[in-house]
């Protein structure tokens, strides 16, 4: 297991990666770098879930964008003050359009994004 620290404004955001979650996102064609870029950018929190097996771990479904404009959905949780990516995949077209519309309302032009 290894951790990566990234500058996140005034504080550090630490990521929790191991062979399990790296292999899982790779099955969806997502790299660790893409997942981290998405989480460090403009995120939309989409849904909060409680893991039924532990009945306590909160999982957050988020939408984010990579530096190259790829829009991803990510399922994350916090473990030991670190962000653990449980899964990540390309957002469906309807979610991409929702994300881009929200970003347009916030920032204006989103030409560099996919869709």
Mean per-residue pLDDT over the chain, rounded: 84
Tell me: the pLDDT tens digits for 88-115?
999 999 999 999 999 898 887 656 555 5
Q: Is residue 15 domain-resident?
A: yes
Q: Kindly state whether residue 47 falls inside one of the protein's structural domains.
A: yes
**Does residue 68 form part of some domain?**
yes
Rounded Cα distance, 100 and 70, in Å:
11
35 in a structural domain: yes
Does residue 113 fall inside a structural domain?
no
pLDDT at 1 over 90: no
With bands split at pLDDT 50, 70 and 90, how would you rate the model's confidence at 20? very high
By percentage, how much of the chain surpasses pLDDT 90? 57
In the chain, the number of structural domains is: 1
Write out the residue range of the structural domain in which residue 18 sits.
2-107
pTM for the whole structure: 0.80
């Amino acid at each position: 297991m290894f951790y990566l620290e990234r500058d996140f404004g005034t504080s550090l955001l630490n990521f929790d990666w191991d062979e399990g979650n790296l292999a899982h996102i790779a099955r969806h064609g997502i790299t660790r770098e893409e997942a981290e870029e998405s989480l460090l950018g403009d995120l939309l929190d989409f849904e909060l879930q409680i893991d039924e097996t532990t009945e306590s771990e909160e999982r957050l479904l988020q939408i984010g964008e990579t530096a190259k404009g790829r829009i991803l959905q990510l399922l994350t949780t916090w473990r030991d003050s670190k962000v653990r990516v449980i899964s990540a995949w390309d957002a469906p077209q309807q979610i991409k359009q929702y994300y881009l519309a929200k970003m347009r309302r916030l920032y204006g032009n989103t030409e560099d994004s996919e869709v």
